[in-house]
Copies of this chain bind each other. A is one copy, B any other.
């Protein structure tokens, strides 16, 4: 079990993991790129921006210094949104100890490079020796903070690291499974955000739960298809980080990507809908990465992802996109379709 954990990133997920570790009496420190913001959270013992309403235990140590946060850590958690990982880790690179394992909790695919979170870490930090892991699953931070029952998956090509992180983070209300398919776990976590935007659009125009279920189902099929083409295990997409996370993201009223989609479905432009929140809507950038990069490279059919792209970036109307999806040629239900 790890006994000295440094969390990089003071958003909702970084904060709630710090709270959980403090509860388990594990020494835990948290760092944020905005030192002023971090000090404010420290003095109020509340993350009013990203996780309002919960008291952060005294045991959580706030550390704004780039060097001090790394000293003595035996596990580093990267809780930085995907599109900001490169800049944050470039800043911290020199301070990061050579052999300390890093576990990412980001869900996305970097624009232009098309890298997964742990690939960005590998690219920025060092080239192959460091052990990396990814934690993902249906984990709405607010519910974790309330200690409601939840599950997640920690993936690493190094099973020993996955088991150690499992032991470190598990509590009676937070059940963690291990998985060796880090490619699948990261891709599923990233791509479900695109489907969540589509589910929000369905909610926004009031198309109903039959439509939403069909969307989840066909959406999961298409993201699995791309995942498998990229080397993932298809079973991963049926698991907690695929189906499980997709369900939470699509039904929770608080999910960022779904809520963003709902505003678009209700009539706002994508820009207006994005301007209404301070949170990062990872699905927008991921959709861009998939359609502009991965689709051409792997040549798989992803009609829902493409429809979301057309609505977000090509001004296609939501109504037209739905009619097009519903009136494709009638066919049989098989994985190839």
Contacts and interface: CB of A to CB of B under 8 A. Distances in A.
Nearest to A146: B208
Contacts of A138: 209-210, 213-214, 217
A263 interface: no
29 contacts: A138-B209, A138-B213, A138-B214, A139-B210, A143-B208, A143-B210, A143-B211, A144-B210, A148-B211, A149-B207, A149-B208, A149-B210, A149-B214, A153-B333, A170-B330, A175-B214, A175-B330, A176-B330, A178-B333, A179-B332, A209-B248, A209-B251, A213-B244, A213-B247, A217-B238, A217-B240, A217-B243, A238-B238, A247-B247
A323 B149 CA distance: 9
A207 to B, nearest CB: 6
Given A150-B211, A326-B149, A247 B217 contact: yes
A331 interface: yes
Interface string A231-271: 00001101110011111100110000000000000000000
Contacts of A212: 247-248, 251
A336 to B, nearest CB: 10
Contact of A327 (B151, B172, B247, B327): B172
Contact of A211 (B149, B167, B221, B322): B149
Nearest to A322: B149
Nearest to A239: B333
Contacts of A210: 138-140, 143-144, 148-151, 248
Nearest to A178: B332
Given A209-B140, A210-B140, A177 B332 contact: yes
A220 interface: yes
Contacts of A244: 213-214, 216-217
Interface residues on A, range: 35 or more
A51 to B, nearest CB: 15
A140 B178 contact: no
Given A214-B151, A239-B217, A333 B247 contact: no
A335 interface: yes
A286 interface: no
Nearest to A333: B177
Interface in A148-165: 148-151, 153
A6 interface: no
Contacts of A149: 207-208, 210-211, 214, 322, 326
A305 interface: no
Interface in A317-337: 322-323, 326-327, 330-335, 337
